[in-house]
Amino acid sequence: MKRIALLGSTGSIGENVLSIVRQFPNRYQVTALAAGTNVQLLAPQIAEFQPRLVSVIDEAHAESLQKLLPSDWNGDVCYGTQGNCEVAAEADAEMTVTAIVGSAGLLPTLAAIENGKDIGLANKETLVMAGRLVMDAVRQKGVTLLPVDSEHSAIFQALEAGRREDVARIILTASGGPFLRKDKEALNHVTTEEALNHPNWNMGKKISIDSATLMNKGLEVIEAKWLFDMEVTGIKVVVHPQSIVHSLVEYQDGSVMAQLGIPDMKIPIAYALSYPERMALELEPLNLWQCGNLEFMEPDYERFPALKLAFEALERGGVSPAVLNGANEVAVAAFLDKKISFPQIAMIVGEALKRVQDGDDRVIEDLINADSEARAVAQSLIQSY
């Protein structure tokens, strides 16, 4: 039985992880859970899975959670970044699944690696902010890091078809989000509700907005560089609106290997949990003859400049990806709060990249400082609009 610590248990990825555990109770046991503010959902998760340790965002939510817990549960409640790190490094866990959204996932993931836990990575910001540092730690500790994102899982699977030294490039697919066919002028007037309405995937608010701007794909490009040890010139993005082909690997002989499947996150999650095995999931199979035509097109960098900014940050290197991520998190939150327009998200990120450039991506303090400076720049710009 594999013992799992789960960060982000009340989010969409976390709930899917728990649904896999629920389907295979003889294979998996949850030893620790971390959530943010949703104690109303966390409490029944604790009652069902009986983890030994749980964490929430702060002391006030820890107190609220205590009032909801069943009387027969005898675990411990902690909170904050330190609490998340304790959950990530929980002594009995063999694998830590990091599904926290945003930069909050970085320090807990590092804590898990430091304590010898294998990682199921659904928090792309960890590698965006500190890819070099994290992957160095993975190698030094001899742990396994398995991707949970559907695109990176697809690449991971397609890479098993050949030798790494024969890979010409990896190709990440992007759905294009809800505004794929909107003209540039119309993007000035889209609403938060429209941006949250993803055509294929059921995701949290932040990742839904990132998908709409194509920043999510930009973050995945940076993540792919570190996961698969690729140069930026070997990473391409193609827009594929149907979300059936989850990503592809092209080999130097011209062969292209693709992983296909229905758009359901249980598939990559289960593969990360069971690797190298595959489990029989209770899902409808992909029906190719009902899929119709599958489209592929070049991204439009003019209408969706966030993707271009991500490539530029990766090429510049250093702390620039951390700046990109920090500014984007603040800008997306402001858009969700209806303080800025949709195009202003990328404008804010671009300006932060110009203003914050100094730092060493091998030094955690420099990465955290760059993140903080980028957030401050973004907040200042939001107030000026």
The CATH number of whichever domain residue 378 belongs to comes to 1.10.1740.10
Q: What is the dihedral of CA 146, 148, 150, 156, to 10 degrees?
A: 0
- 294: number of CA atoms within 13 Å, CB side? 16
Tell me the backbone φ, ψ of residue 196, rounded to 5 degrees. -80, -10
Region of 294 on the Ramachandran plot (φ > 0 left; ψ -120 to 50 alpha; else beta): beta
Predicted local confidence at residue 201, as pLDDT = 63
The two three-digit tokens of residue 250, written as one number? 């092209």
Q: Please give the Cα distance from 249 to 157 (Å, whole number).
A: 9
On whether residue 251 sits in a domain, the answer given is no
On whether residue 176 sits in a domain, the answer given is no
Predicted local confidence at residue 311, as pLDDT = 97
Using the 3D structure, point to which of 87, 119, 147 is the last residue of a domain: 147
Q: At what angle do helices 12-23 and 39-49 cross, to 10 degrees?
A: 20
List all residues 6 or more positions away from 148 whose beta carbon is below 8 Å from its beta carbon. 13, 97, 99, 120, 121, 122, 265, 268, 269, 272
Predicted local confidence at residue 72, as pLDDT = 86
The residue segments making up the domain with residue 329 are 317-385
- How many angstroms from the chain centroid is the CA of residue 293? 29
Predicted local confidence at residue 202, as pLDDT = 66
List all residues 6 or more positions away from 164 whose beta carbon is below 8 Å from its beta carbon. 229
**Taking the CB of residue 369, how many other CB atoms lie within 10 A of it?**
16
Predicted local confidence at residue 48, as pLDDT = 96
Cβ-count burial 335-364 (b if 16+ within 10 Å, e if not): bbeeebbbbbbbbbbbbbbeebeebebeeb
pLDDT tens-digit map of 41-65: 999 999 999 999 999 999 999 999 9
Using the 3D structure, point to which of 94, 125, 147 is the last residue of a domain: 147
Q: Which residues in the chain show pLDDT less than 50?
A: none
Using the 3D structure, point to which of 147, 173, 205 is the last residue of a domain: 147
Q: Looking at the 3D structure of the chain, how many domains does it have? A: 2
Predicted local confidence at residue 164, as pLDDT = 94
- The CATH code of the domain that includes 12 is 3.40.50.720
The two three-digit tokens of residue 28, written as one number? 């998996």
- How many angstroms from the chain centroid is the CA of residue 318? 21
